[in-house]
Structure 1
């Protein structure tokens, strides 16, 4: 399982995708939707999770693309 990918506001404007624990952004975009697409592709590749943050830094949404140990039934 790879690093979780975080979509966060970039300090210089726009949005960035950063792997968990990384200091540098993997990618920087002007739109959040573009950053989410990039993060999703990386997470699918690495079987990890995407964590999408709001402009204030609060977590808005999480999506898992790995092997969930207890998938919900139904």
Structure 2
């Protein structure tokens, strides 16, 4: 699933690292901090964006580790 952004999102009492469009998480963690570390490594490796969701489901943080679609050169 290279080139698909990575999301860190709550799932029950765990935190999942999951790619856009995936049916299953690539990993699950006991706390958000561990999930963010794993998600960051995955996003950096594939040069995609990392999106971190809060317990309310809203995106609370995002980082680009490759092509940033909002990057403006000029």
Please tell me the TM-score bracket, short chain as reference.
Answer: 0.7 to 0.9
The answer to whether structure 1 residue 15 and structure 2 residue 11 are counterparts is no
Counterpart of 2:40 in structure 1 is: 40
Secondary structure of the corresponding residue to residue 17 of structure 2: strand
Q: Which runs of 4+ in 1 moved over 4 A?
A: none
Distance 1:6 1:44 in 2: 13
Counterpart of 1:59 in structure 2 is: 59
The CA deviation string for residues 21-66 of structure 1, in whole angstroms up to 9 with x for no partner, is 1110110000100000000000000000000000010110110000
Distance 1:56 1:7 in 2: 13
Distance 1:37 1:28 in 2: 12
Q: Which runs of 5+ in 1 are unaligned?
A: none
Q: Which runs of 5+ in 2 are unaligned?
A: none
TM-score by length of 1: 0.86
Distance 1:55 1:30 in 2: 14
